């Protein structure tokens, strides 16, 4: 069954807009040049109560993000005028949008494609054709882990200070800019300094869902996190054949 068939299946067109208005929670922007995909994604997310907007070109999608950042961006890679990777790079380079959660939704599904997407700052990666139920689950998981349920005072752990409400990390009083998933990964490792977590444990606890992705996802995010820690990259330790841990120096 193709995307068009899925989009038409049991589609309650009349009640669609009313439900979005009544139960809207988060705004999600879909940037994809395929009308059938936009329709399918919009229908399934709106049915869950999300407010869904869409753009068909990379340039117009980026303009909308800069003018009014959504709570989550679903981004195709093969876009006219500006590619998805170019859009992602621009978003991560702009202070106001660098922490915007981004889920790549694309037909490019090789391991290298996924690694490049994560290297450029994607929080999640889903390939076409896809299950609408899986998409909805991933969207929910991203929003849960990037928002948190309660505001909390900034937490100081060794040389780090984490402010979850402001999505801010200070290292030796210097701010480092992390994507939502990088922030959550660092926060989770710092909760139990010295404890070694397997890649599978990190996928489950940081990405959630009983995550559908691959363990290489963890490696890519750890590599990006270390690069941003600079000379303190050694604070994230690799335990060969096991996983990763945060090593906090004793005061």
The pLDDT of residue 65: 97
CB 29 within 8 A of CB 54: yes
| Preceding peptide of 151 cis, ω within 30° | no
pTM to 2 decimal places: 0.72
The Cα 50–Cα 88 span in angstroms is 22
**What does the pLDDT read at residue 226?**
95
CB-CB contact of 107 with 128 (8 Å): yes
pLDDT at residue 251, rounded to an integer: 62
- Return the pLDDT at 110: 87
State the pLDDT at residue 34. 96
Give the pLDDT of the chain (251 residues) as one tens digit per residue. 444 444 434 333 333 333 333 334 899 999 999 999 999 999 999 999 999 999 999 999 999 999 999 999 999 999 999 999 999 999 999 988 988 999 999 999 888 898 899 888 899 999 999 999 999 999 998 888 776 545 567 789 999 999 987 888 999 999 999 988 899 899 999 999 999 999 989 988 888 755 556 778 899 999 999 999 999 999 999 999 899 999 988 76
Q: Which pLDDT score is estimated for 223?
A: 93
In angstroms, the CA 240 to CA 145 distance is 27
Q: Which residues contact 121 (CB under 8 A, 6 or more apart)?
A: 88, 89, 91, 92, 102, 179, 224
Query: CA torsion, points 182, 184, 187, 193, in degrees to nearest 10?
Result: -80
Question: Taking phi first (over 0 means left), then psi (-120 to 50 degrees means alpha), and beta for anything else, what does residue 213 get?
Answer: beta
At 211 the pLDDT is: 55
């Amino acid at each position: 069954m193709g995307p068009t068939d899925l989009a038409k299946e049991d589609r309650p067109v009349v009640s669609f807009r009313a439900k979005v208005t009544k139960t809207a929670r988060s705004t999600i922007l879909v940037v994809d040049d395929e009308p059938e995909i936009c329709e399918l994604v919009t229908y399934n997310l709106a049915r869950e109560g999300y407010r869904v907007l869409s753009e068909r070109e990379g340039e117009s999608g980026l303009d909308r993000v800069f003018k009014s950042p959504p709570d989550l961006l679903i981004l195709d890679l093969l876009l006219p005028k500006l590619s998805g990777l170019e859009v992602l790079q621009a978003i991560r380079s702009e202070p106001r949008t660098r922490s915007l959660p981004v889920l790549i939704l694309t037909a490019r599904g090789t391991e290298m494609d996924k690694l490049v997407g994560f290297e450029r700052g994607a929080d999640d990666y889903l390939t076409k054709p896809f299950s609408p139920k899986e998409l909805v689950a991933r969207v929910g998981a991203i929003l849960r882990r990037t928002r948190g349920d309660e505001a909390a005072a900034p937490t100081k752990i060794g040389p780090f200070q984490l402010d979850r409400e402001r999505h801010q990390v200070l290292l030796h009083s210097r701010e480092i800019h992390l994507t939502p998933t990088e922030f959550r990964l660092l926060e989770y490792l710092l909760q139990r300094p010295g404890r070694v977590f397997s890649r599978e444990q990190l996928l489950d606890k940081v990405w959630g869902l009983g995550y559908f992705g691959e363990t290489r996802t963890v490696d890519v995010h750890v590599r990006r996190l270390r690069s941003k820690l600079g000379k303190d990259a050694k604070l994230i330790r690799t335990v060969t054949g096991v996983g990763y841990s945060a090593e906090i120096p004793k005061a």
